[in-house]
Amino acid sequence: MAQAEVSQPVRVTTPALPTTISTEHGAIWAGQRNVWLWRLAGYLGMMLSLLLIGLPVYWMISNAFKLSQEIYHLPPTLYPHSPTLQNFVNAWHAVPFDRYYVNTIITTFFGSGFEVLFGVTSAYAFVFLRFPKREWLFLILLAALMVPGQITILPNYVTIGLLGWINTYQGIVLPGASVAYGTFLLRQYYKTLPIDILDAAKVDGAGHLRTLVAIVLPLAKPAIVSFGLLSIVAKWNDYLWPLVITTTKDMRVLPIGIRWLMVEEGTIEWGNVMAGAIFVVIPVLLVFLYAQRYIVDGITAGAVKG
């Protein structure tokens, strides 16, 4: 008897998609044909951003070392042909920059210190404490982010006036001692912290204060330093509120000093003004160079989880 024929399974093969494309100059991966265009566009965008940001800074530094006749020369020169330091000497003696430095350091130190303190503690409360209407309070905090600071100038001025703090350090510092942004930023970072470590601290008997100081603060150092740097820059460059709340030259701060430098000179000596602007920029630049390694980690905190 003839054996039954066993049908063999039919294999259907599909042609493999080419992973490379042959060209005159060799093979390139599929999908990489336009990569160089995007890379070129990225480099051009980066160079344009650098030019827009760096050109004013370079122009300020260049003019600070130029003589007056060279600043007004047409066409303008890109670098000082006869560099001089006299602009810095003139600017320092034209207005009391030493007093302005003292006032700015005091207001920046205490203003930023209070902002970081309140941001650290309030963010901890929103994340790790349980209390009624917590989410509602956080929504109110977010709504405060939408309110421009200029709107609060009048009520803050009235309040400071009733307290008798006009033309004082506390009058400059306290209205801006806490901002909603710091609480929001640190809350988002706290929510990314490993909860197991905090549970272990509770088992060991650590209270909220010890947990905050010994565990949360070291883990959240990038976000805290980044927020501290942003706060320092904002306080150091604050112009409007110190101008409104102070009435004498002895209580002015550095940004107002630059404006007074232009007024004191009568005919504006731009070399002196640029030199005075460098007096304002250098301390912030030094702080930035120290804290730059924390900035990216801190600003992107909570971008994935939160």
CA angle 45, 46, 47 (to 5 degrees): 90
Q: Is residue 11 part of a domain?
A: no
Structure confidence at residue 6 as a pLDDT band (50, 70, 90)? very low
Per-position DSSP letters for 161-195, written without gaps between them: HHHT-TTSHHHHHGGGS--HHHHHHHHHHHTTS-H
The average pLDDT across 17-24 equals 48
Structure confidence at residue 222 as a pLDDT band (50, 70, 90)? confident
The string of pLDDT tens digits covering residues 97-130 is 889 999 999 999 999 999 999 999 999 999 888 8
Which residues 6+ apart lie within 8 Å of 264 measured at CB?
94, 95
The token pair at 41 is 């566009």
d(CA 118, CA 228): 12
Q: Is residue 20 part of a domain?
A: no
Q: Is residue 154 part of a domain?
A: yes
Percent of the chain with pLDDT over 90: 25
Three-state secondary structure call for residue 27: strand
d(CA 94, CA 258): 10
Q: Is 31 left (phi over 0), alpha (psi -120 to 50) or beta?
A: left
The string of pLDDT tens digits covering residues 252-291 is 999 998 888 876 656 778 888 899 899 999 988 888 888 7
Q: How many CB atoms lie within 10 A of CB 131?
A: 8
Distances (CA, A) of 213 to 97, 124, 209: 38, 11, 6
Helix %, strand %, coil % for the chain, to 5? Answer: 70, 5, 30
The token pair at 193 is 């912290």
Write down the pLDDT at residue 30: 47
Q: Is residue 143 part of a domain?
A: yes
The token pair at 52 is 């827009």
Which residues 6+ apart lie within 8 Å of 254 measured at CB?
97, 100, 101, 103, 104, 236, 279, 280
Peptide bond into 18 cis (omega under 30): no
The CATH number given to whatever domain includes residue 166 is 1.10.3720.10
Write down the pLDDT at residue 264: 62
Per-position DSSP letters for 278-303, written without gaps between them: HHHHHHHHHHHHHHHHHHHHHHTTTS
Q: Which residue has the tokens 């930035």?
A: 288
The string of pLDDT tens digits covering residues 47-77 is 998 888 888 889 899 989 988 888 888 888 8
Q: Is residue 282 part of a domain?
A: yes
Q: Is residue 56 part of a domain?
A: no
Domain count, the chain: 1
Domain that holds residue 233: 87-299
Write down the pLDDT at residue 306: 43
The string of pLDDT tens digits covering residues 151-197 is 889 999 999 999 999 999 999 999 988 888 889 889 988 988 888 88
Q: Is residue 227 part of a domain?
A: yes
Q: Is residue 288 part of a domain?
A: yes
Write down the pLDDT at residue 157: 94
